[in-house]
Amino acid sequence: MVVKVPESDEWCAPPPGCVKFNTGEAVKVSYGPAGIGKILRDHSEKVIVEFSKAIGLSDLASAESIAIREALNIFAASEWVNQVELIIKVDCAYVVYWVNNPSLTPFAFKDLINECLNADFNFS
């Protein structure tokens, strides 16, 4: 699995043999009521899964981490788990950095990041 920050806001299809989760989050101000959403698409841009839910009070980095965890859970339970590679597109560079450098994750985010890392996927 690849977790990355997009180079632009424009959506790009994943290569053949991959599916791509685009995660999104909405947080009122820096901390407040929040929600997450995800769309899973294949290389032909076909929407496979759409999902959104309220997550209560949160900050942006926590909401993004929760979105990644939820995307991993959905993918792990899907028929595609052993058939294609997963790419997750996120908007928060801090979260991508922490996923790829877990020892540098701030204490407040360690549990969430560890849940993502313990999902039995490879991050690159």
In the numeric block, the tokens 């424009």 are attached to: 10
Q: Is residue 28 part of a domain?
A: yes
Report the pLDDT value the prediction gives residue 8, as an integer from 0 to 100. Answer: 59
Domain total in the chain:
1
Q: Is residue 54 part of a domain?
A: yes
Cα dihedral angle (27, 25, 64, 47), rounded to 10 degrees? 170
> pLDDT of 77-94, one tens digit each?
888 888 898 888 888 888
- CA distance linking residue 84 with residue 102, whole number of Å: 25
Q: Is residue 61 part of a domain?
A: yes
Give the pLDDT band (50/70/90) at residue 103: very high
Boundaries of domain holding 31: 2-117
Report the pLDDT value the prediction gives residue 4, as an integer from 0 to 100. Answer: 55
Say how many CA atoms lie within 13 Å of 79 toward its Cβ.
2
> pLDDT of 7-64, one tens digit each?
556 778 899 999 998 887 788 777 888 999 888 999 999 999 998 999 998 988 888 8
Q: Is residue 62 part of a domain?
A: yes
- CA distance linking residue 118 with residue 121, whole number of Å: 8
Q: Is residue 122 part of a domain?
A: no
For the entire predicted model, the pTM comes to 0.81
Q: What CATH number is attached to the domain comprising 8?
A: 3.30.420.10
